[in-house]
Chain A
Amino acid sequence: MKIQAKRVEQVRTTAECVAC
């Protein structure tokens, strides 16, 4: 029996700069 893990993604909230 193999033990299978599920990866959890990192949480990186963002903002894009239109005027930069």
Chain B
Amino acid sequence: MNVTKDSVIEFHALRSRPENEEETLIGRPDISNYIVLPNIGIEIIERLQSGQPIFEMEAIFEERFGEPVDVLSFVQDLIYDYQFIHKVDGAVVNEKTEWKDHLPFLTERLGNFFFNRFAFALYALLFFSGLAAAVVRTEYFPVYSDIFLSSSVTVSLVTAFLAGWFFLFLHEIAHLMAARSLGIGSRIGLSHRLVFMVAETNMSNIVLLPPHKRYRAFLAGMAWDGALFGVGVWLQVLHGAGWLALPEIVIAFLRMINLSFLLGLGFQFLFFMQTDVYYVFTARFNCKNLIHNTRLYLRGLRNRLDEAQQQEWEGVEEKEKRVIRWYAWFYLIGMVWALFLFSSVTLRQAADFISKTYDSMAGHPVLSWPFLDGVLLIALTLVPFSIVVWSWIRTWRERAWKMKQRDNLTT
């Protein structure tokens, strides 16, 4: 597929937002691909959309700037790198895709009800008062053994598994509703961060809003988790004071989910991965692509950048580079620490648990309760690991497919 200087170019639907006087953010909302372009780039796109051929533009710009402007190679970038262009001379170069919002019945109004300033203040009050109560009265502070709400390991783990998945998606629904309240649609899915399984809400079109308007959507999940944690502590306090009689099993359940909420909130602060706190951080410092550019920086320190990467690094804003120079330390130390923790704690615990369960199954016939019980426990333990592996494979495949598509188009 060749673009020539008189090719007819047809674009996908694009949306944009001026960043400042010199630059505009522009992209395809259907695949959430966005870039920031200098004004000249935007002008070229507008001229192409109105049907002006490339050779005509190059003549106009050369006269204006006193030097040749490489419009043709920019158009090639728009096709291969950013996929903004649908057809060249009538031939499809990037297929149309349809973006479908998840849970469209959760309206903007409902989102506004749950995620306005007043609601956030209430969530914060619940969380911090609950945390203070648990610090003062340490018997309400979560401990590791809270994960076992029953003397039966199976009952405990099945309950924790079901509650874990329920509250995981509740967290994502909070993000989705808060983004919806800002007029942004999202999609919920499963993925990985480093070696951890996560549920994620893709709300990439939120970059069409200025950074200070995005916080609501980034903080929504933690706000609900924190508020529920606070409610859990206060219910235990009321029960302990004798003002509210709750069955022991309910108290045990509250302790289990409170442990899960607190660890989940802690996970968000590991901002060397793309967590909620990471996005708050990038919005606060107006970074466009912090983790990607940090990786470029670290490769650059080892002189491992190819020409395209070198150009990309040089194009990063000075402000973002200043953030990267100290963020890179968090990134490196965080990565090493998380991998160490994962291999020495998470993996080892899972392996220990599976081998103990296997030992307790041995000697029982296949169709007996102890054996089936063991199969269930091992299966539950393997679920998150399987999802991480599946997510890795999906990421590699997408990357390979993109490379292949690029090669097909450029030959």
Looking at B3-11, B189-197, B325-333, B398-406, the stretch in contact with chain A turns out to be B189-197
B159-175 interface mask toward A, CB cutoff 8 Å, 1 = contact, 0 = none? 01101110110011001
Bound Cα distance A10, B292 (Å) = 11
Contacts A13-B203, A19-B163 given: A6-B40 contact, CB under 8 Å?
A: no
- At the interface, yes or no: B27 with Cβ under 8 Å from chain A? yes
Q: Is the interface of A mostly helix, strand, loop or mixed?
A: loop
Q: Are A14 and B165 in contact (CB under 8 A)?
A: no
Is B275's CB under 8 angstroms from A18's CB? no
| Size band of the interface chain B makes with A | 35 or more
Partner of B70, one of A2, A11, A12, A13: A2
B:74-94 near A, CB below 8 Å: 74, 77, 81-82
B51 at the interface (CB under 8 A from A): no
The A-contacting residues of B in range 189-219, CB under 8 angstroms, are 191, 193, 196-204, 206-207, 214, 217-218
Per-residue CB contact flags for chain B residues 382-411 toward chain A (1 = under 8 Å, else 0) read 011000000000000000000000000000
Determine if B34 is an interface residue (Cβ-Cβ < 8 Å): yes
Residues in chain A near residue B275, CB distance under 8 A = 13-14
> Are B384's CB and A17's CB within 8 A?
yes
CA distance A15 to B165 in the complex (A): 10
Q: List residues 253-296 of chain B with CB under 8 A from any CB of chain A.
A: 256-257, 259-260, 263-264, 267-268, 274-276, 279, 282, 288-292
Q: Chain B interface (Cβ within 8 Å of chain A)?
A: 25, 27, 32, 34-38, 40-41, 44, 61, 65, 67-71, 73-74, 77, 81-82, 147, 160-161, 163-165, 167-168, 171-172, 175, 191, 193, 196-204, 206-207, 214, 217-218, 221, 225, 256-257, 259-260, 263-264, 267-268, 274-276, 279, 282, 288-292, 311-312, 314-317, 383-384
Closest CB pairs A-B (n = 5)? A19-B164, A19-B160, A15-B171, A8-B34, A14-B198
Interface residues of A (CB under 8 A from B): 1-20
